[in-house]
């Protein structure tokens, strides 16, 4: 049974439909990420779950308790849902200690001890508790916001792009720390982000949102390798999309015969490969002769960026595919390790590993 | 009327701190130092007079029942008026900024409009409507009505600037709407409330005409009485000394209460727009509060002036007399505004382009002098001119200097804000495009800051136009400004003849008040 059930949620702002029918089930103790481009309605959804606004239509049920049903909604302060906002939203007029203790009762037992404990849990030094929010770095502010939200022992934690204001390096480590922390505390968590890598690495369930609706919900691996359509595929990472005919678990494509993840038979289909499925092997023009079943290409561009190198490869020979001519002239863009990447003009042999995904 | 000053100080994040320090040209620094020293002259003179008079006379003049009485009156006035004005302004600001009250924008403007009516005209309106009005409570009533916009302006600006995410966060932490207001919203209004209260308090100390009408004695009215009976004797000067002390107490209190806190938004990114609270059944009481406030603060003066104008008919419009007064007022206002703006320029430029400890000290001097009551500055200038430079006594020069001293902070704030909007990079870009230094300055910084400078001049002019005490004491013989003419007619209980002057003052102030309102909105970033 799911812990949080959202069904048929609609919300309009004037002529703009921010949410146009959202359904979501979240299991207890799990982590869910909602990812989508800015303006897709993900923050609105979060605000409705938190109770800052009421939906126009639809239901939100948390642990058997109806939080919102159409316009009737339980106000935010009676929901017991923790929220960590993008920039922390710390109270500038209170010390860090008072910020963390804000949601506790004033005379609550062992208030000070709990504040210190929470600070310790989120990895803050005790000395910091006397300071003011503006004296803290962005990462520290986020930790305080997290501790403040955890202080009220929330049933559900909502994270609204909490890492987006942080430096790239800090972001990854914060993400990992927060995930572990919430896991240990057993708090069900929903993360909203526009960063696909963040969504894929943080959550057990990812929902891709577009134009106020979920276009696909699933595990990170499913979503990455078996996206429903081209837009999702490209949103979650680089994708090579090719025309092909499929039958018997294999596709005939410009890249030759490739295993696919379906047994359907269709003359016209589109298949998707992730660039990392394509391997390159250095060879020369002489090496091409006498190997008609192999695929060769020429490196036309090479852009070095430290650890990786982006390479454009133009295919030199085509297998007999449907509308191959157009594809054959479009170079494949591949990201390869920066060390020992082939240079412009070199001839490479291409191999495909794993299965290609067929779009329905 | 120094709310522009106040808005600049009420904790708005100042851009200039982040600018790299640059060395200012020596002549600029010298000018700024001279202006600041000149501004300190009135203060220095009070101290000098006290020293010269000798301790015995001073203590005899200061420690007497009359002073005690005045002190009680003034203290009670401040202690009663300020809290009432705070509560009223917070309520009005919340209603107009954060609730879905119908016509919120119109109401917001109506809450600022009372500033267009000089305080003594408010008082005139009330005393002719309710002739028996007098004493402390009458003083509190009229003072609240005349001065609450000084609190309303910064508070509503602060409310507009608050990050709604904080309120959301508090709600998510389990706080109901009322507790959110008390624990999150109100604490963040502290700076605005402190700044506004200081401003109201200083006005209460400085106002003369308002309290004469309702026969309520404060230090300022007593000083003017004393001056009129004994000229610039030590008695008036010592009363002024006590009044200055009161001002310093207020300034100090404000610094203490305000503390060294930073209430600006923490974190990056633009704040979301706030949602307005649905008032529901509270709409009617909310509207009622605004209607009553507007009736008291705008209705009473307008109705009274209208009534007297009708009663007086055409004959109160003595056009030659009114024309002369209008001409003199406009001349004094423009000349004073120009002088104040020119005097403020070096300071403003230094504070943006080359900030540092010296600049902060100089600016502090200017602010302190700007917060002194007009009567004190006037008295000091009378004493100085009579004792040292008699030919300057009651000359155009002296009265303009007095205006410049009183209203310098206003010009300074507007200038500073507008220079800050003209980044130095533009000047450099113009230079790199081949303009010569002066030409580069002209085509960038000066061009860009001109509107702000004009706004500052307008605000100074507004202050001068409605100034009464210092003008009476310092203006050359034969001067008769609108305020003076109004005052002399209404002192003779010829309320009908005074009405056209009140009308003209209000009519001329209204557009400037609008300017103030727009400026406060812009300072809040919307």
pLDDT 10s digits, A31-60: 999 999 888 889 899 999 998 889 999 999
* CB-nearest partner of A52 from B168, B175, B188: B168
CA-nearest residue of chain A to B186? A93
* CB-nearest partner of B262 from A86, A90, A92: A92
Residue pair B179/B136 in contact (Cβ under 8 Å)? The answer is no
Which chain A residues contact residue B275 at CB under 8 A?
Answer: 53
Interchain proximity A102–B266, CB inside 8 Å: no
Q: How far apart are CA A51 and CA A45, in angstroms?
A: 10
Per-residue buried b or exposed e for A15-41, using 16+ beta carbons within 10 Å of the residue's own CB: eebbbeebebebeeebbbbbbbeeebb
Interchain proximity A165–B169, CB inside 8 Å: no
> Long-range contacts: B17-26, Cβ < 8 Å, 24+?
B17/B355, B19/B352, B19/B353, B19/B355, B19/B424, B21/B354, B21/B355, B21/B356, B22/B353, B22/B354, B22/B424, B23/B354, B24/B349, B24/B350, B24/B353, B24/B354
Interface probe for B, chosen from A51, A54, A89 (most Cβ of B below 10 Å), is: A89
Average pLDDT over residues B78-91: 96
When pLDDT is cut at 50, 70 and 90, the band that residue B13 belongs to is very low
Interchain proximity A93–B168, CB inside 8 Å: no
CA-nearest residue of chain A to B168? A52
Interchain proximity B172–A149, CB inside 8 Å: yes
Question: What are the pLDDT digits (tens) for B52-73?
Answer: 888 888 888 888 888 899 999 9
Interchain proximity A92–B265, CB inside 8 Å: yes
Question: What are the pLDDT digits (tens) for B437-477?
Answer: 777 777 777 778 887 788 888 888 988 988 998 998 888 88
Top-confidence residue, B302 or B412: B302
Interchain proximity A90–B266, CB inside 8 Å: yes
Top-confidence residue, A324 or B202: B202
When pLDDT is cut at 50, 70 and 90, the band that residue B526 belongs to is very low
Question: Distance between terminal CA atoms of chain B?
Answer: 23
Tokens representing B279 are: 């008032």
Which chain B residues contact residue A165 at CB under 8 A?
Answer: 267-269
Interface probe for B, chosen from A43, A77, A105 (most Cβ of B below 10 Å), is: A77
Question: What are the pLDDT digits (tens) for A251-286?
Answer: 888 888 889 988 888 888 889 999 989 998 888 888
User: How far apart are the CA of B269 and the nearest CA of chain A, in angstroms?
Assistant: 8
Q: B265 — contact with chain A (CB < 8 Å)?
A: yes
Interchain proximity B268–A138, CB inside 8 Å: yes
When pLDDT is cut at 50, 70 and 90, the band that residue B525 belongs to is very low
* CB-nearest partner of B168 from A83, A88, A141: A83
Residue numbers of chain A with a pLDDT score lower than 50: 322
User: How far apart are the CA of B81 and the nearest CA of chain A, in angstroms?
Assistant: 27
Q: Is the ipTM of this complex over 0.85?
A: no
Question: What are the pLDDT digits (tens) for B216-257?
Answer: 999 999 988 888 887 767 788 888 888 888 888 888 888 888
Return the pLDDT at A319: 58
The three-point CA angle B142-B144-B149 to 5° equals 120
* CB-nearest partner of A165 from B170, B265, B268: B268
């Amino acid at each position: 049974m799911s812990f949080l059930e959202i069904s048929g949620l609609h919300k309009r702002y004037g002529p703009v439909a921010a949410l146009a029918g959202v359904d979501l089930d979240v299991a207890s103790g799990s982590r869910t990420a909602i990812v989508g481009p800015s303006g897709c309605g993900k923050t609105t959804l979060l605000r409705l779950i938190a109770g800052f606004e009421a939906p126009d239509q639809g239901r939100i049920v948390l642990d058997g308790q109806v939080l919102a049903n159409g316009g009737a909604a339980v106000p935010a302060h009676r929901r017991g849902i923790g929220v960590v906002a993008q920039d922390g939203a710390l109270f500038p007029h209170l010390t860090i200690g008072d910020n963390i203790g804000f949601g506790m009762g004033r005379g609550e037992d062992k208030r000070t001890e709990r504040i210190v404990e929470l600070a310790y849990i989120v990895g803050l030094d005790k000395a910091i508790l006397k300071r003011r929010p503006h004296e803290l770095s962005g990462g520290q502010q986020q930790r305080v916001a997290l501790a403040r939200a955890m202080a009220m022992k929330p049933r559900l934690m909502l994270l609204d792009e909490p890492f987006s204001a942080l430096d790239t390096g800090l972001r990854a480590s914060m993400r990992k720390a927060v995930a572990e922390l919430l896991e240990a505390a057993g708090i069900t968590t929903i993360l909203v982000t526009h960063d696909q890598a963040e969504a894929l690495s943080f959550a057990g369930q990812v929902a891709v949102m577009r134009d106020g609706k979920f276009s696909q919900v699933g595990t990170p691996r499913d979503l990455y390798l078996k996206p429903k359509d081209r837009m999702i595929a490209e949103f979650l990472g680089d994708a090579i999309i090719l025309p092909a005919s499929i039958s018997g678990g294999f596709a005939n494509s410009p890249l030759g015969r490739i295993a696919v993840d379906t047994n359907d038979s269709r003359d016209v289909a589109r298949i998707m490969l992730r660039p990392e499925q394509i391997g390159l092997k250095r060879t020369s023009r002489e090496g091409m002769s006498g190997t008609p079943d192999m695929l060769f290409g020429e490196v036309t561009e090479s852009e070095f960026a430290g650890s990786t190198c982006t390479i454009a490869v133009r295919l030199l020979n085509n297998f007999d595919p449907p509308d191959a001519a157009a594809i054959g002239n479009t170079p494949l863009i591949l990201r390869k390790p920066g060390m020992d990447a082939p240079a412009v003009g070199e001839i490479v042999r291409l191999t495909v590993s794993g299965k290609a995904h067929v779009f329905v | 009327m120094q709310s522009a000053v106040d808005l600049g100080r009420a904790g708005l994040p100042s851009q200039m701190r982040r600018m790299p320090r640059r060395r200012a040209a020596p002549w600029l620094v010298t000018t700024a130092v001279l202006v600041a020293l000149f501004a300190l002259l009135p203060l220095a003179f009070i101290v000098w007079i006290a020293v010269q008079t000798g301790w015995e006379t001073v203590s005899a003049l200061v420690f007497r029942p009359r002073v005690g009485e005045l002190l009680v009156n003034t203290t009670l006035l401040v202690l009663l008026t300020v809290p009432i004005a705070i509560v009223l302004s917070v309520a009005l600001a919340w209603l107009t900024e954060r609730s879905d009250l119908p016509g919120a924008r119109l109401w917001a403007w109506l809450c600022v409009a009372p500033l267009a009516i000089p305080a003594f005209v408010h008082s005139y309106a009330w005393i002719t409507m309710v002739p028996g009005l007098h004493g402390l409570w009458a003083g509190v009533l009229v003072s609240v009505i005349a001065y609450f916009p000084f609190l309303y302006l910064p508070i509503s600006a602060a409310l507009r600037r608050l990050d709604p995410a904080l309120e959301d966060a508090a709600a998510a932490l389990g706080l109901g709407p009322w507790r959110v207001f008390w624990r999150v919203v109100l604490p963040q209004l502290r700076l605005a409330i402190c700044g506004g209260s200081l401003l109201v308090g200083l006005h209460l100390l400085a106002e003369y005409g308002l309290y004469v009408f309702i026969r309520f004695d404060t230090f300022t009215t007593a000083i003017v009485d004393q001056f009129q009976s004994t000229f610039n004797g030590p008695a008036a000067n010592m009363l002024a000394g006590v009044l200055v002390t009161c001002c310093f107490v207020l300034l100090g209190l404000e610094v203490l209460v305000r503390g060294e806190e930073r209430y600006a938004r923490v974190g990056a990114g633009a704040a979301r727009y706030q949602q307005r609270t649905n008032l529901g059944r509270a709409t009617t009481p909310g509207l009622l509060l605004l209607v009553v406030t507007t009736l008291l603060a705008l209705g009473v003066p307008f109705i009274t002036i209208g009534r007297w104008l009708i009663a007086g008919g055409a004959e109160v419009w003595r056009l030659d007399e009114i024309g002369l007064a209008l001409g003199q007022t406009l001349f004094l206002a423009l000349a004073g505004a120009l002088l104040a703006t020119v005097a403020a320029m070096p300071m403003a430029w230094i504070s943006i382009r080359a900030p540092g400890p010296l600049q902060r000290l100089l600016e502090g001097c200017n602010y302190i002098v700007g917060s002194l009551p007009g009567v004190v500055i006037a008295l000091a200038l009378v004493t100085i001119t009579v004792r040292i430079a008699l030919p300057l006594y009651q000359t155009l020069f002296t009265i303009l200097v007095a205006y410049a001293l009183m209203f310098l902070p206003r010009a300074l704030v507007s200038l500073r804000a507008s220079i800050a909007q003209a980044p130095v990079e533009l000047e450099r870009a113009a230079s790199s495009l081949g303009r010569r230094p002066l030409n580069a300055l002209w085509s960038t910084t000066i061009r860009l800051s001109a509107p702000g400078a004009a706004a500052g001049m307008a605000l100074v002019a507004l202050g001068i136009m409605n100034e009464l005490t210092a003008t009476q004491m310092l203006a050359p013989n034969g001067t008769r400004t609108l305020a003076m003419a109004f005052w002399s007619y209404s002192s003779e209980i010829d309320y009908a003849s005074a009405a056209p002057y009140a009308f003209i003052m209000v009519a001329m102030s209204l557009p400037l008040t609008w300017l103030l309102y727009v400026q406060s909105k812009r300072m809040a970033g919307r």
